[in-house]
């Protein structure tokens, strides 16, 4: 299995700049690239990556996307005078040319291809290319939006041609719509293009009608183009995560890509003059991690926009650190998406309903009476309003430096019977009696305290959790005689400093509801049993017709319920419990384990029955940072399971705002 993270950068791509006065283009400066790379060096991340040399893309590679006439025209720019460059630039929109930009554009496209080669040939697992000029706006025969050649579009076609990649997912989190990528693939069902972008009802650049939510693709590509328009500025981490949980991830798992390409534009981060959004740099650590569970971890991020020279390098570092496998930062103070985000979310899910099983039975009608839709009145008054908004939005944003993400000395530890081999890379913890812990345990266990082996196991588990709390150990797994007793023991004896513990139970079995009454513990169980326990905000039982055997229903519950609730709860520890005869297959189990690393800085303890020793290796591999293998393309979940999940979501969304998918001010509640 491939390991390592590629980093592609060359100072040569900083050697062009704007040579005349152009207010629209002045923000695109060489420092965008240099400060990003310097931040990676300063934080010790560049040295941890595999450095891949750049190369120029060939004419044949560029022609995979662009017309011969356009390529030949750009080839002439190195020999143009300043006046000729100005005149040439006037053919296009919001772009500039320089004598060295053709060379740099070939390096940028070639860097994206080098990254694809490195990942597809398994020299590395994933990687990032720091390139300039960006690419996602450039059309077949036109430069646009600082972009000359469409780096990611070329990379997608190259991967399909050279490596026979059947399905490519392109995720464009830049704040501008990548109309060039959309135009390239809108009739191609082998490429799923997702873009969120500042839109403001077509008032924000590139001001295209086809950037709205109802542009879903054409002909055979219908449904494979997904646009999420942001119709107001100020979107936050909660808005971004909501779209991932309720739109992108369900569709991506259904699509089942062989390769993930990211148009990694960081003008969607706080402080950027273009985006005017409020999402902090550490959100990109989480977005990256959620995508790393797709395509067997084959992910290539290629730099696009980003014009704040503070939040840009911070966001780049967060992305690369996640690609390297470091623990994720905790995201505090998450709540529900704002009303405008919910309206866009609702409209998009409705527009895509006929194309994706994920939305077939759960999407509501499009939102009516959009809250941000401008009422056109006298031009003078409208201009006055917009001027006021512009002055307000130009206020300088302040945000905290992203938190440090220290790696624990021990990545993962195990508590196993003597006859079960410890997986490579995982440290075996010898069962032992820890006097203070044993004393506390005896007070609670009663007669069970007389079982010396069980007492030693429980004592060791509590000790292991303490080591996680001190960040001496990242994660752990244990084979125990009784998972429910082990769970209750750990829950009752965790440190008071662990304010929130998320318990995820897979399979049938009774978890006493009293463990979650004070909110310090949140239990979410997925099974085929209707729970007899009283459900509450902190005790959530998801009953599926076939329990954990039905992959589509199970993943719907994980993506649509578990992830949003988990993010909003923000646990300090995750306990993942595999019940006896759970029925969950290894691939799905590994996906779940991988996704749960989003929480609690990766501090996850997995509890399994002693008979489940065949699961030790697969579980440990994920805890040690290996990507989960891809699932098969998911089918439409059973209607009964969809209804069950939707009923739960509707009941819980008053308490857990990240579960919302419709605006409370719009009609369209699902009738179940």
Q: Is residue 527 part of a domain?
A: yes
Query: What are the φ/ψ torsions at residue 367 (nearest 5 degrees)?
Result: -65, 140
- Answer yes or no: do 485 and 361 share one domain: no
- Answer yes or no: do 496 and 604 share one domain: yes
- The last residue of one of the domains, among 318, 347, 378, is 378
pLDDT of residue 366: 83
Token duo for residue 639:
């209607």
pLDDT at 534 over 80: no
CA distance linking residue 257 with residue 247, whole number of Å: 15
Q: Could you tell me if 309 and 279 are in contact, meaning their C-beta atoms sit under 8 angstroms apart?
A: no
- The last residue of one of the domains, among 378, 409, 437, is 378
Q: Is residue 309 part of a domain?
A: yes
Q: Which domain holds residue 563?
A: 474-659
pLDDT at 436 over 80: no
- Answer yes or no: do 360 and 484 share one domain: no
CA distance linking residue 321 with residue 313, whole number of Å: 12
Q: Could you tell me if 168 and 262 are in contact, meaning their C-beta atoms sit under 8 angstroms apart?
A: no
Q: Is residue 464 part of a domain?
A: no
Q: Is residue 395 part of a domain?
A: no
pLDDT band at 635 (very low <50, low <70, confident <90, very high): confident
pLDDT at 325 over 60: yes
Q: Is residue 420 part of a domain?
A: no
Cβ neighbours for 192, distance < 8 A, ≥ 6 positions apart = 167, 168, 169, 170, 224, 226, 251, 252, 255, 257
pLDDT of residue 232: 97
Strand, helix or coil at 479? strand
CA distance linking residue 182 with residue 213, whole number of Å: 13
pLDDT at 444 over 80: no
Structure confidence by residue, pLDDT tens digits, 389-406: 444 444 678 888 898 999
Q: Angle at which helices 68-75 and 101-120 pack, to 10 degrees?
A: 130
- Answer yes or no: do 291 and 168 share one domain: yes
- pTM as predicted: 0.94
- Answer yes or no: do 351 and 490 share one domain: no
Structure confidence by residue, pLDDT tens digits, 448-506: 655 677 788 888 999 999 999 999 999 999 999 999 999 998 998 888 888 899 999 99
Q: Is residue 671 part of a domain?
A: no
Instruction: Pick left, alpha or beta for residue 65 (phi over 0 → left; psi -120 to 50 → alpha; otherwise beta).
Output: alpha
SS (H, E, C) 122-160: CCCCEEEECCCCCCCCCECCECECCECCCHHHHHHHHHH
Q: Is residue 455 part of a domain?
A: no
Q: Which residues are part of the catalytic machinery?
A: 137
Q: Is residue 357 part of a domain?
A: yes
pLDDT of residue 430: 86
pLDDT of residue 672: 40
Beta bridge partners of 182: none
**Residue 602: which CATH number?**
3.40.800.20
Which class for 398: exposed (0-12), middle (13-18), buried (19 or more C-beta within 10 A)?
Answer: exposed
Instruction: Work out how many domains the chain is built from and give that number.
Output: 2
Token duo for residue 443:
């007070």
Q: Taking Cα atoms as reference points, which of 210, 131, 115, 209 lies closest to residue 163?
A: 115
SS (H, E, C) 377-436: CCHHHHHHHHHHHHHHHCCCCCCCCCCCCCCCCEEEEEECCCCCCCCCCCEECCCCCCHH
As a whole number, the mean pLDDT across the chain is: 92
Work out whether strand 5-8 and strand 126-129 pair parallel, antiparallel, or are unpaired.
Answer: parallel
- Check the CA dihedral 363-368-370-376 and report its sign: positive
Task: Outline where DSSP puts E strands in 130-271.
Answer: 168-172, 191-198, 225-230, 259-264
- The last residue of one of the domains, among 347, 378, 409, is 378
């Amino acid at each position: 299995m491939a390991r390592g993270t590629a980093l592609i950068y060359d100072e040569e791509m900083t050697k062009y700049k704007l040579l005349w006065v152009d207010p629209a283009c002045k923000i695109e400066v060489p420092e965008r690239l240099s400060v990003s790379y310097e931040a990676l060096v300063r934080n010790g991340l560049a040295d941890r990556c595999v450095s891949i040399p750049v190369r120029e893309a060939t004419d044949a590679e560029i022609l995979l996307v662009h017309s011969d006439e356009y390529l030949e025209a750009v080839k002439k720019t190195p020999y143009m005078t300043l006046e000729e460059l100005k005149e040439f630039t006037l053919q296009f929109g919001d772009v500039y040319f320089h004598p060295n930009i053709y060379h740099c554009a070939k390096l940028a496209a070639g860097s994206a291809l080098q990254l694809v080669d490195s990942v597809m040939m398994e020299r590395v697992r994933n990687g990032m290319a720091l390139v300039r000029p960006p690419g996602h706006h450039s059309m077949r025969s036109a430069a646009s939006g600082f972009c000359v050649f469409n780096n990611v579009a070329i990379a997608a076609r190259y991967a399909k041609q050279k490596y026979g990649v059947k399905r490519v997912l392109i995720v464009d989190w830049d704040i501008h719509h990548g109309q060039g990528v959309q135009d390239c693939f809108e009739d191609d069902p082998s490429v799923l293009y997702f873009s969120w972008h500042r839109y403001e009802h077509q008032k924000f650049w590139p001001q295209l009608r086809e950037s709205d939510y109802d542009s879903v693709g054409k002909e055979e590509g219908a449904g494979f183009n997904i646009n999420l328009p942001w119709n107001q500025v100020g979107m936050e981490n909660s808005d971004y995560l909501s779209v991932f949980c309720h739109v992108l991830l369900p569709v991506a798992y259904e699509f089942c890509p062989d390769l993930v390409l990211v148009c990694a534009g960081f003008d969607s981060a706080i402080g950027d003059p273009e985006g005017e959004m409020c999402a902090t740099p550490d959100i990109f650590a989480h977005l990256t991690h959620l995508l790393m569970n797709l395509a067997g971890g084959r992910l290539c991020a290629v730099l696009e926009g980003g014009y704040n020279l503070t939040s840009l390098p911070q966001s780049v570092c967060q992305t690369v650190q996640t690609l390297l496998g470091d623990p994720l930062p905790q995201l505090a103070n998450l709540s529900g998406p704002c009303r405008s985000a919910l309206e866009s979310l609702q409209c998009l899910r409705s527009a895509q309903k006929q194309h994706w099983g994920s939305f077939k039975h759960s999407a509501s009608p499009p939102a009516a009476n959009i809250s941000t839709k401008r009422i056109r009145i006298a031009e003078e008054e409208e201009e006055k309003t917009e001027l006021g908004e512009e002055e307000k939005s130009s206020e300088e944003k302040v945000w905290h430096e992203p938190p440090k993400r220290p790696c624990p000395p021990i990545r993962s530890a195990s508590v196993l019977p003597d006859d079960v081999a410890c997986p490579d890379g995982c440290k075996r913890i010898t069962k032992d009696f820890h006097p203070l812990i044993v004393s506390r345990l005896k007070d609670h266990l009663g007669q069970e305290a007389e079982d010396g082996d069980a007492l030693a196991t429980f004592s060791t588990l509590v000790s292991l959790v303490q080591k996680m709390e001190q960040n001496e150990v990242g994660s752990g797994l244990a084979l125990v005689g009784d998972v429910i007793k082990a769970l209750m023991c750990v829950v009752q004896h965790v440190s008071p400093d662990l304010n929130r513990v998320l318990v995820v139970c897979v399979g049938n079995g009774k978890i006493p509801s009293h463990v979650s009454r004070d909110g310090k513990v949140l239990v979410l169980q997925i099974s085929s049993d209707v729970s007899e326990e009283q459900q509450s905000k902190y005790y959530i039982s998801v009953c599926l017709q076939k329990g954990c055997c039905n992959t589509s229903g199970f993943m719907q519950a994980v993506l649509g319920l578990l992830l949003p609730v988990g993010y909003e709860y923000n646990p300090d520890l995750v306990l993942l419990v595999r019940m006896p005869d759970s029925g969950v297959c290894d691939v799905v189990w590994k996906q779940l384990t991988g996704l749960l690393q989003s929480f609690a800085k990766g501090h996850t303890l997995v509890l399994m029955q002693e008979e489940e020793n065949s699961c030790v290796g697969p579980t440990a591999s994920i805890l040690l940072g290996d990507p989960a293998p891809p699932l098969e393309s998911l089918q439409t979940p059973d209607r009964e399971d969809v209804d069950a999940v939707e009923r739960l979501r509707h009941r819980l969304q008053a308490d857990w705002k990240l579960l919302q998918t419709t605006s409370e001010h719009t009609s369209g509640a699902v009738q179940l």
